[in-house]
Amino acid sequence: MSDVYIKVTTVPRKAEASAAADETAEPAPEIIELPVEETGGVLVTTLSSQFTDAIGLQYRNEESGALRALRIKDDAVEQPGGGWGDRTYFVVIKKKDADLKRTADSAQLDAPAVDEKASRLYIGNLPFTLTGSEPLKAFFEGAKEIVVPTHMDTGKIKGYGYIIFEDVEKAEACIKEKQGIEIQGRQIRLDYAPYNKPFNKRNGPVVQQQSTGESEACKRIWVGNLPFTIKGEEELKQHFAGAESIVVPVHMDTGKVKGFAYVTFPTVEAATAAKEGAQSLELHGRMVRVDYAPFGGGPRRTNGGPYHGGGGGGYGGACTS
């Protein structure tokens, strides 16, 4: 009987295809052929001899598009039900302690404890193999809309999303029926996500605190945490009616927005009203932050401003009326 070998590499097929399409990318890892034992399995020791810290194998399920792990028995990776075939398998590497901590942090996408019921639900602990919102429609057929935010650089999901129903009753029924169901091997979490109560997906409700460090009221406000997909000033006009001017700074080299904007109003009262009205404003799945932006004050970052650790903070200086 001639020896049987299977093809093994370290990069999932999608990443390999992406690398091939990018001429500047590093070449894809080499595919290694590993021997199959007479019992039909591949020894874990054989894997680890070629791939450091290897503990198993997985392959891309052509029907679902997800990676499927193979069972391990008696220190050997068992072959799939239909045999090894001619597919390429991907090695599973044991995660280091730092990687495990990052994974645990990512898994803590638990919805906040919100008492107020709403027609919008938060869904957390989504599997990162999920390809957008489309696969969720089969689980939430009565939903009016499903939004799954993704990372700008990789296009991968962030591990959470929003499910919007026509009324509170349907959202409540969904929680009772679907709470804790498994999607691609992960147990999801559901909770209410009221539009008027911004919250952090990891730490619960965002508490907006006042302090002596808040900028003085004036005609111009700063809008931060803008999504990088925003289409400049025109898109902000519908959210800040009555503004005299809207400026969205961009990077000189790429032309992409920097993630914040300045909105100027004819009066301090109009600016104050806009600032208060935008406290729960969400754009492209991101909750914006707002503060006064006194002219000539220059940027300042504080830990005591209205948004603790706000990634851009408020703006100090004196106002000009």
Specify the pLDDT at position 66. Answer: 83
Token code pair at residue 316 = 């100090």
| pLDDT number for residue 235 | 87
Between CA 131 and CA 157 the distance in angstroms is: 7
HSE-CB at 178 with a 13 A cutoff on CA atoms is: 24
For 138, other C-beta atoms within 10 Å of its C-beta total: 8
**3-state percent helix, strand, coil for the chain, nearest multiple of 5:** 20, 25, 55
What does the pLDDT read at residue 234? Answer: 85
* CATH architecture assigned to 208-321: 2-Layer Sandwich (3.30)
Q: Are strands 145-147 and 199-200 parallel, antiparallel or unpaired?
A: unpaired
Task: Look at residue 7 in the predicted model and tell me its pLDDT.
Answer: 93
Which pLDDT value is given to residue 292? 87
CATH top-level class for 103-205? alpha beta
Q: Average pLDDT by consecutive 10-residue portion of the chain (321 residues)?
A: 84 47 56 91 90 89 85 90 91 69 48 65 89 90 90 80 92 91 89 69 41 66 87 86 89 80 91 86 85 64 36 45 47
What is the per-residue pLDDT for 302?
A: 40
**Residue 191 phi, psi (nearest 5):** -160, 165
Question: Phi and psi of 136, rounded to 5°?
Answer: -75, -20
- What separation in angstroms does the CA of 228 have from each of 208, 241, 304? 24, 22, 26
Task: Read off the pTM.
Answer: 0.33
Structure tokens at 100: 């495990």
pLDDT the model gives residue 65: 80
What is the structure's pLDDT at 265? 92
Q: What is the pLDDT of residue 312?
A: 40
